[in-house]
Structure 1
Amino acid sequence: MRKKSHKLSYLLGIIAVLIVIGAGFVGYRQYQNRPPKAVKLVAVGDSLTQGVGDPKGRGGYTYLIREKVNQKNSHVKMATANFGISGETTDQIDHRVLTSTKLQRNLRHADVITMTTGGNDLLHFLKQNVMDSNGRNLDDKLGQYHQDYQKRVNRLFGNIRQLNHQAPIFVFGIYNPVYVYFPQVSFISQAVAENNSVTQAVVRRQSHMYFIPINKRMSDGQFTTTRSRQQLRKRSTVIGNKNYNAGEIEALLNGQTTQTNKYLSTADHFHPNEIGYQIMTNLLYKQLVKHTNWAKG
């Protein structure tokens, strides 16, 4: 009798295991066949969002991030909406956020928001002031500029957050497009670094908002090794004593140069090329994986 009871228990155990395995298999098949999660990314900003410099005219990082997300995450289907306009300052972007019903509607329904801003603000300041020969006066002007910029960018971020309280917002920093060509113009590098510090400080005060630094990768270009950096510094020393006139400063700020940063467009030596936008895309994707559940697989 005891043997029969033992055999029955053993048989029931096997049946239970088979039921669990069968249920798991059915569940797995249902999981595999479920429709992908729809994710909408809305990009707003200036020329770096619009994709100026992209040789294929596809929209720069906004196109590339959609392709990367959809390729690496079979359970996700990302769609993107690009609201980048070349040349716009922070105030001009903010004006669109406040007045464009189409942009507002997209921001409200966004699952992810990306932004680029600040580059044109700083560019306007540099064109007006970089030829000031009085170093202390120039530093004072830069300090006042950053105070004003902080107010503008804080207002922009706040207005976007009012439209969407939940979506993570990823804000790209800016870079120095003339560093490889004119590394001796240290004031421009200083201004870019301080501009990024202001943006990052404002980002930290917002909920679910994250700063993506691109200054070092994009400004340094292909000069990534110790030897290449030494050569760049040597070239800087040779031409560092030159006094640039207003026309030359204007030309370098407009990207009119014959030198090469391999991450920037050869059309204007100012905006990212496809490699540059791929760098921005990879940095953005790392942040998506870190701060969203759906991108973690």
Structure 2
Amino acid sequence: MKWNQGILLLICCMSLFIDTATSRAEAPNKLTYIALGDSLSAGIGASEVDYLRTPAFVPKFVTHLRKTNDVYVENHSVPGLTTSGLYSFLTQNQGIQTKLKNANIISISIGGNDFLREIRSSEQVDEDNFKARAQTIYEDVAAIVNYVESLNNDATILLFGLYSPYGDTHEYQEVSQLILKDYHLLLQTLQSERVIVIDPHAPFIGKEVQLTHIEDNDIHPNDEGYDILANLLIKAYEKEAGR
């Protein structure tokens, strides 16, 4: 009888161990995701579902992450924000600094308003002038990335480049393409083990009307445009995670 009781106790202990190990294996990873940026990261232009812009790239990225992870997310994106505005927000706000220090994933989408300011102030197409304009935006973005890295050098930083919403017939088409050509070459220099540069420029070329609201004089993506941005973000993250 005692021998049978011992066997039963052993079986119960082994069962408990196996259940615990299985539970641990199936438990999702806990991730903290912080989104930084302007109206693009805020999802302006995406359709709303129950007052939420679920087709935007941040919600779609979170939905993807939550398939296999327990995700906590905060979106600190402000429509109209410039690179200098974001840099000031980060360096002067202790609360966001603490959040970034504890983040696993940080996305940065900034520079669009600086880009618009540069092309709208251009009176003529001058290649040397636009190289300087691209350099100015790049230096501001580089300062942001370097500061975020100084707070957290373990997080995956997903850095968005810029796209042009201006098609062949638009007055800003040539100007915008010149700036973006140089800008993305510069932006690639920020790519590192932890910083992943995402270039959305090419997918929008020739599809500006299809992917944005530019026909309504609105440069933001529509749902189809945001879907492209979300897929680029997911692909970039999965490539990093699969290393």
Q: TM-score range by the shorter chain?
A: 0.7 to 0.9
C-alpha separation in 2, matches of 1:181 and 1:174: 20
Relative distance call for 1:181 and 1:62 in structure 2 (3 A) is farther
Q: Secondary structure at the match of 1:104?
A: helix
Relative distance call for 1:29 and 1:155 in structure 2 (3 A) is closer
Contact 1:53 1:267 in 2 (8 A): no
Aligned to 2:53: 58
Aligned to 2:35: 43
Aligned to 2:64: 68
Aligned to 1:264: 212
Aligned to 1:213: 199
**Cα distance, 1:220 vs. partner?**
2.8
Which amino acid in 2 is paired with 1:272? P
Q: 263-272 or 113-122: which moved more?
A: 263-272
Relative distance call for 1:120 and 1:70 in structure 2 (3 A) is same
Relative distance call for 1:32 and 1:109 in structure 2 (3 A) is closer
**Cα distance, 1:110 vs. partner?**
0.7
Structure 2 gaps of 5+ residues are: 1-10
**Cα distance, 1:99 vs. partner?**
1.0
**Cα distance, 1:218 vs. partner?**
2.3
Contact 2:83 2:114 in 1 (8 A): yes
TM-score by length of 2: 0.81
**Cα distance, 1:102 vs. partner?**
2.6
Between the two proteins, the alignment pairs up a number of residues equal to 225
1:88 aligns with 2:81: yes
C-alpha separation in 1, matches of 2:96 and 2:229: 23
Aligned to 2:72: 79
C-alpha separation in 1, matches of 2:73 and 2:204: 24
C-alpha separation in 1, matches of 2:25 and 2:173: 57
1:124 aligns with 2:133: no
Contact 1:114 1:170 in 2 (8 A): yes
1:164 aligns with 2:157: no
Q: 52-61 or 168-177: which moved more?
A: 52-61
**Cα distance, 1:275 vs. partner?**
1.7
CA deviation profile, 1:60-109 (whole Å, cap 9, x unmatched): 211111112223x2xx1222211111122211111111012232122111
Structure with max Cα Rg:
1
Contact 1:179 1:189 in 2 (8 A): no
Higher strand share: 2
Aligned to 2:186: 198
Q: Secondary structure at the match of 2:45?
A: coil
Contact 1:261 1:269 in 2 (8 A): no
TM-score by length of 1: 0.68
Report the aligned-residue RMSD: 2.7
Relative distance call for 1:48 and 1:184 in structure 2 (3 A) is closer
**Cα distance, 1:263 vs. partner?**
1.6
Relative distance call for 1:62 and 1:267 in structure 2 (3 A) is farther
Relative distance call for 1:78 and 1:268 in structure 2 (3 A) is farther
1:115 aligns with 2:115: no
C-alpha separation in 2, matches of 1:184 and 1:158: 31
CA deviation profile, 1:93-133 (whole Å, cap 9, x unmatched): 1111101223212211110011112221121111111x32x
**Cα distance, 1:269 vs. partner?**
3.6
Structure 1 gaps of 5+ residues are: 1-18, 222-259
Aligned to 1:228: none
C-alpha separation in 1, matches of 2:44 and 2:184: 21
User: What is the aligned counterpart of 1:279 among 202, 214, 228?
Assistant: 228
Q: 273-282 or 262-271: which moved more?
A: 262-271
CA deviation profile, 1:139-194 (whole Å, cap 9, x unmatched): 23212223333322221111111111100101111111012553993232121222
Contact 1:125 1:145 in 2 (8 A): yes
